[in-house]
Amino acid sequence: MTPPRTQHIPVVVLAGFLGSGKTTLLNHLLRNRAGTRIGVIVNDFGAIEIDAMTVAGQVGSTVSLGNGCLCCAVDASELDTFLETLTRPSARLDLIVIEASGLAEPQELVRMLLASENPHILYGGLVEVVDAAEFDGTRERHPEIDRHLAVADLVVLNKTDRVGEAEQERLRRTVAELSRPAAVISAVHGRIDPELFFDPAMRPDGEEKTRQLTFEDLLREEAGDDHAGHLHAAYESVDFTSDVPLDPRRFIAFLDSRPEGLYRIKGFADFGAGDRDNRYALHAVGRFLRFVPQPWARGEQRLTQLVLIGAGIDAEALRAGLTACRAEPGPETPDTETERAMWGVLRCVQQEPEPEDVREEAAAEA
């Protein structure tokens, strides 16, 4: 029997006009997933090649990619149905990527995700892929790209090897202005660090203790540390740890005013007297924010531990801002003011499914 799953699965929307390099970027993620099991939903009716496998665009088809990942070809109207399939405990997925049609309105997919009643998913952001060499022409033919960039959480300026440095800088400024406050990452052949999307599971397929080397392992070995360092250099990562609880009102104010280029925040927050029983897992991507209360383990050291990821961010300013969120010494039990301060946190907490519903779902999948 598969045990009930309690974590939420991030769902990332990967968008961009035809030829921007969405599928190339997706292939890169699948080849460098480090044991992370990825579900792919392809919102397109054309022939879409994912490495050696071709999805023929049949609505309702689900194809195994042979590496623990799945691929579906769906109509947007059936999105909820496939999300229900991919979030079942038996699928054991860590991430779901929706590759939008080159002519899709990505904000509609985002709206559907945010309105979904599926309790197992978490919005993982809208990633817009832009062809640097063809951007001006694409914008002339499809002026709606401005609207797409305006709702993006992360912009990948792809194919930058095809333009000069001055042109690349001009494009970065233009794209950053259109997508503000989203982070903008430059890439060649869609190669960006997968950790922008997910935390690698770093487990072998099938979780066996010994296994043969896979093609994915060989690719990682061939890439070497220099390649990984190059990918990581495209963005900054800021760590913050505090053994002093955070003031919930100050912390929410910090999150509401987070600076441009800050794409993702993950980790755990301790609100001290605001909730002595729970720490709060934090998931923020772009403008989306979600807290999940989790009971403290017996004897666990009570810390706030956060990682902030973005491009062009001021690390010291972020650390200073978080340090200013630490609470002043106060009573061990919440007073009325503390309870009110927690309202800003609690409004970002998703309603969890009833335990019996989770048990029934797990039993049905066993």
Of 38-47, 95-104, 112-121, 250-259, give the lowest mean pLDDT range: 38-47
So what's the pLDDT on residue 85? 81
- Beta partners for 282? 267, 291
pLDDT tens, residue by residue, 74-113 = 555 567 777 888 888 887 888 888 887 765 678 888 888 8
Examine the pLDDT at 203 and tell me if it is beyond 90: no
So what's the pLDDT on residue 148? 93
Considering Cα of 178, then 192, then 40, then 352, what sign does the dihedral take? negative
Residues 63 and 66: their CA atoms lie apart, in Å, by 9
CB contact at 8 A, 325 and 247: yes
Of 9-18, 19-28, 74-83, 103-112, give the lowest mean pLDDT range: 74-83
Of 166-170, 211-215, 232-236, 318-322, give the lowest mean pLDDT range: 211-215
- Average pLDDT rounded to a whole number, residues 7-16: 88
- Average pLDDT rounded to a whole number, residues 189-212: 65
CA angle 341, 310, 158 (to 5 degrees): 145
Examine the pLDDT at 229 and tell me if it is beyond 60: no
Which contacts qualify for 162-165: CB closer than 8 Å, 24 or more apart?
162/132, 162/133, 163/132, 163/133
Which contacts qualify for 159-167: CB closer than 8 Å, 24 or more apart?
159/21, 159/131, 159/132, 159/133, 159/134, 159/187, 159/188, 159/189, 160/132, 160/186, 160/187, 160/188, 161/188, 162/132, 162/133, 163/132, 163/133, 167/132
Higher pLDDT among residues 241 and 30, named by residue: 241
Residues 98 and 197: their CA atoms lie apart, in Å, by 12
Residues 277 and 280: their CA atoms lie apart, in Å, by 10
Mean pLDDT of the residues in the chain: 77
The amino acid at residue 229 is: G
CB contact at 8 A, 127 and 285: no
pLDDT band (50, 70, 90) for residue 356: very low
So what's the pLDDT on residue 94? 87
Examine the pLDDT at 204 and tell me if it is beyond 60: no
What is the model's pTM? 0.78
So what's the pLDDT on residue 365? 45
- Average pLDDT rounded to a whole number, residues 26-41: 81
